[in-house]
Structure 1
Amino acid sequence: MSENSPAGEAWEATDEAAAAAEAGEQAAVTPVVAVVGRPNVGKSSLVNRVLGRREAVVEDVPGVTRDRVAYDASWLGRPFTLVDTGGWETDAEGMAASVARQAEYAAQAADVVLFVVDATVGVTDADAAVTRVLRSTRRPVVLAANKVDGAAQEAEAMELWNLGVGEPIAVSALHGRGTGDLLDAVAAHFPDREEEAGERASGEEGPRRIALLGRPNVGKSSLLNRLAGEDRVVVDPTAGTTRDAVDELIELGGITWKFIDTAGIRRRFRRLQGADYYATVRTSSALERAEVAVVLMDVSEPLAEQDIRVVEQVMESGRAMVLAFNKWDTLDEDRRYYLEKEIDRQLSRVSWAPRVNISARTGRHMEKLVPAIETGLASWDARIPTGRLNSWLKELVAATPPPVRGGRQPKILFATQADVRPPHFVLFTTGFLEDNYRRFIERRLREDFGFEGSPIKVSMRIREKKGGTKASKGSVRPDWRR
């Protein structure tokens, strides 16, 4: 194979990319399965069979026999991303060569490769050539011997042992024969995932949970009492009156919510002692239990460092956020002018958070708080279908390609939404994407899909260099605090 072939391309991560990938946390991404094989072996039919709907391959983007097309799929409750590819011929030229490159990129970016071969034809030179390339990707390969419609063809499938990529699994994409065994074999190679089912299940049951956060004496307890219509918690002008996180079930707009009133987050956490220290610990715990945080700020005073720290803590937690500017009834025109300047300058990174101007004392605009919370939670829970996401991304990259880095232009092979709460998008790329370009993608995601009130996580999985590198398997730490 020549050095200019896709699998033989020298891929060199810069020190910055390698350091970022090594320092970043592993992306919580669903496993990716690439379906590859030479033309006319039944790849798309097998994809249709796995998806359970015949129209899946043809409804998202035109030219599916040439482009990579990613779909959401699942087997035995385990979600994964299924990537259909065009026919792969290693000695192709022109358009066919481009199709082959797309298939090879998909194989290199996948967690598992599903190699489809026509069992009725047997081992061809093209199949053997594809097998040699697949070995260089160092990915687990599951061999699907397709078009085995009955017992008479099973002997033909056994011939495919000669490819040297393991046991051929006899299937019929047309009739569905053997597809369960095939998916069992594929799922056996999925990366291990941390079991968070218990935590997620508890988080999805019961009323939605809202943490009331802010520095001391901004009116958190007053707001809780106003929402409840009675004095549920102690209110006192002395800063730091609340030291326990108090859970209150309150019905608003016909919906029951669980509000968590918390002790004020103080500035010098490590210098706190005694009850104040444990109050701050309980506040952090309350934020972890919440789904959305309402951050209160006292507009009668300039925005302080403590206010910004509260906002940063919520961003780092990945919770949905609403900014509530309390004591609005105390504003005069001069203070309002300077407040808007402070908000533009100090809170520009959370311009996506809904803003409500309220007065816990008088009840001003309290009716706007719940709609803002509902907006944040809806965005926090939102998921974009993989096909729609990749159609959008294809148009975006065509209009604005990634900038050249080190003399080469990285390519975005495809994307998937790995998780919700908050939405987490993973870009599968051939190289490192500059921070500015990832911020551009995040901004366009917000413009085109919304996500008001929720942070967005955007991370990368970079195509592994031939032979493997430590940086390629890791994911760049997602920067989603903007």
Structure 2
Amino acid sequence: MSEPQAEPIKPVVAVVGRPNVGKSMLVNRIIGRREAVVQDVPGVTRDRVSYDAIWNGREFVIVDTGGWAPDAKGLAAQIAEQAELAIAAADTVLFVVDASVGIQDVDEAVVQVLRRSKKPVVLAANKVDDARNEAEAAMMWNLGLGEPHPVSALHGRGSGDLLDALMEALPEAPLEADVELGGPRRVAIVGRPNVGKSSLLNKLAKQQRSVVDNVAGTTVDPVDELVEVAGTVYRFIDTAGIRRRVKEASGHEYYASLRTASAIERAEVCVVVIDAADPIADQDLRVLTMVEEAGKALVIAYNKWDLTDEERRRYLNREIEQDIRAFDWAPQVNISALTGRGVDKLSKAIEAALEGWETRISTGKLNAFLGRITAAHPHPVRGGKQSRILFGTQAHTSPPTFALFTSGQLDPGYVRFIKRRLREEFGFVGTPVHIEVRAREKRSK
């Protein structure tokens, strides 16, 4: 077998600029789909958010950042820090200014940061919607960053020329020496708003990674991050909190909640974060069900364990017994994202769930098992007929899915019984188990 070829590492473009100059809209224009959260409110993009992009056959990664403000306080200061981190990690910077309002003090301040970074910069003068505004774009020469490229993120005007300039500024992609086949396992951190998902990611990453603020729904974009936990590297996808009713969520929350579902789809294993200090809510169960229905491996993390007293833990155990019983196959970890307690145990739980998710049972072993349980517990007789399982096979893994060929339909209760016995026999820790019944069709005379 030939060795895997070394693959080029994709160059990284960081998109920076002060709030509300149209960075996210320009990112959407470049990647050709509505991914970045766009809303006519300054500061909607709060984290570094990366997307794969391609232009004229060249692949690169584009990182959308929150608006940079030099004298920012509080949440805005954290967003500015994220933008600086993105510049530090980038190969080239795409600096977006609003040509319709001219050069602002904040733009000048961003230029200082860009000069210090010594990174190649491509200047995009946005909101040049027609030829009449070209003169306004020319004023941007005064920033001292070279030629301003007039563009309209809204209409797409000039975006091709801008991308050509960007490709010229990008370094040739270096080759990655040891390419890991398959890459790191993909983990989505999901849960209802304000249960501590971003704090958990930050604790795992050991640096301020997602902007965290004690406001429900602060994180509005899924953010991919390679993080090492207890010696294993994972690709973490931090997601916006799931809103109870997507239709009721306004603006950016609506799009962010839609993407939470797509983050679950992209993941192999989902860590569902539940606030241990609060009673288990319907939304928590909804998230767990979404993961199960998507067929993903599952770990349940009870966060804010440091805020629970003995009485709350007693109630929590009762709630788990009643509400989470249907998910008792998932590994459970008690953690505190704030203090870091129990966070290292997550790696073991994730590995166990992935192992269960990828378990394959040989056809011989499966049919021996089916023979034993159907002999001891045959299917009930219905209308004078008794359905029998003729043969079973594991159709696929991730999640384990079994096809049962039968002489007639099986009662849902009997299918649940087989599923329960499959878990007892083969484990399947941390994974949904699917059973498809294929009843033999009656032969027409």
Q: TM-score range by the shorter chain?
A: 0.5 to 0.7
Aligned to 1:339: 316
The answer on whether the counterparts of 2:246 and 2:258 sit within 8 Å (CA) in structure 1 is no
Alignment of 1:417 with 2:376, yes or no, is no
Report the equivalent of 2:439.
462
- Tell me the residue number matched to 1:296: 273
Q: CA offsets, 1:280-324, max 9 Å, x none?
A: 111111111000000001111111111111111111111010000
Classify the secondary structure of the residue corresponding to 2:193: coil
Q: How many angstroms apart in 2 are the aligned matches of 1:301 and 1:251? A: 30
Q: What's 1:433 paired with?
A: 410
2:355 to 374, 378, 401: 378
Question: Residue 204 of structure 1: CA displacement?
Answer: 7.5
Q: Which residue of 2 aligns with 1:247?
A: 224
Q: Is the 8 A contact 2:268 2:297 kept in 1?
A: yes
> What is the deviation of 1:380?
0.5
CA–CA distance in structure 2, aligned partners of residues 321 and 380 of structure 1? 9
Q: Which residue pairs with 2:80 in the alignment? A: none
Alignment of 1:318-329 (within 5 A): 318-329=295-306
Q: Percent identity?
A: 56
2:376 to 383, 399, 412: 399
Separation (CA, whole Å) in 2 of partners of 1:355 and 1:463: 40
8 A Cα contact 2:360 2:394, kept in partner:
yes
Is residue 2:215 matched to residue 1:238? yes
**2-side partners of 1:449 and 1:228: how far apart?**
34
Query: Which position in structure 2 is the counterpart of 1:287?
Result: 264
Corresponding letter in the other structure for 2:427: G
Q: Is the 8 Å Cα contact of residues 389 and 405 (structure 2) preserved in structure 1?
A: yes
TM-score, reference length from structure 1: 0.54
SS at match of 1:293: strand
Question: Out of 194, 202, 223, which is 1:217 matched to?
Answer: 194
2:225, 2:237 within 8 Å by CA — same for their partners in 1?
yes
Pairs within 5 Å for 1:139-178:
none
Deviations 1:401-437, CA, capped at 9 Å, x for gaps = 1111111111110100001110001110001111111
Residue 366 of structure 1, CA deviation: 1.3
1:118-158 deviation per Cα after TM superposition (whole angstroms, max 9, x unaligned): xxxxxxxxxxxxxxxxxxxxxxxxxxxxxxxxxxxxxxxxx
**Partner SS, residue 366 of structure 1:** coil
SS of match in other structure, 1:314: helix
RMSD, matched Cα: 1.3
Equivalence for 2:175: none
**SS of the counterpart of 1:258?**
strand
Q: Give per-residue Cα distances to partners, 1:309-349, cap 9 Å, x unaligned.
A: 11111111110100000000111111111111111111111
Residue 243 of structure 2 is aligned to residue 269 of structure 1: no
Q: Note the alpha carbon deviations across 1:178-236, whole angstroms, 9 max, x for none.
A: xxxxxxxxxxxxxxxxxxxxxxxxx9811100000000000000000000111111110
Alpha-carbon separation, structure 2, partners of 1:380 and 1:269: 29
TM-score when normalising by structure 2: 0.59
The reply on whether 1:361 has 2:342 as its aligned counterpart is: no
Partner of 1:309: 286
Q: Structure 1 residue runs of 4+, over 3 Å off?
A: none
Alignment correspondent of 2:184: 207
Kept after mapping to 1: 8 A contact 2:300/2:333: yes
Alpha-carbon contact 2:189-2:273 (below 8 Å) kept: yes
Give a deviation string over 1:103-123, Cα, whole Å, max 9, x none: xxxxxxxxxxxxxxxxxxxxx
**Mapped partners of 1:259, 1:339: distance in 2:** 28
Structure of greater relative contact order (alpha carbons < 8 Å, 6+ residues apart):
1
1:256 equivalent in structure 2 = 233
How far off is 1:358 after superposition?
0.4
Paired residues, what number? Answer: 266
Quote the Cα distance in structure 1 between the aligned partners of 2:373 and 2:285. 33
Gapped regions of structure 1 (runs ≥ 5): 1-202, 469-482
Which of 405, 428, 431 is equivalent to 1:451? 428
Long gaps (5+) in structure 2: 1-179
SS of the residue 2:381 aligns to: coil
- Matching residue of 2:21: none
- Provide the rounded CA distance (Å) in 2 between the counterparts of 1:350 and 1:204: 32
Letter in 2 for 1:443: R
Amino acid at match of 1:434: D
Cα distance in 2 between the residues matched to 1:376 and 1:305:
24
Compared with structure 1, are the counterparts of its residues 418 and 379 closer, same or farther at alpha carbon in structure 2 (3 Å cutoff)? same
| CA positional deviation for 1:254 | 2.3
1:13 paired residue number:
none
Q: Shift of residue 467 of structure 1?
A: 2.5
Q: Match for residue 145 of structure 1?
A: none
Separation in 2, partners of 1:273, 1:220? 21
SS of residue paired to 2:278: coil
Cα distance in structure 2, aligned partners of 1:379 and 1:282:
26
CA contact (8 A) 2:232 2:347 kept: no
Q: Map of 1:57-136 to 2, 5 A cutoff?
A: none
Deviation at residue 273 of structure 1 after TM alignment? 2.5
* Equivalent runs, 1:184-203 vs 2, <5 Å: none
Distance 1:204 1:351, change over 3 A: farther
Q: Output the CA distance in 1 between the equivalents of 2:230 and 2:240.
A: 27
1:466 maps to amino acid: R
Equivalent-residue separation in structure 1 for 2:328 and 2:231 (angstroms): 29
Determine the structure 1 residue equivalent to 2:328: 351
**Structure 1 residue 253, shift from structure 2 partner:** 2.5
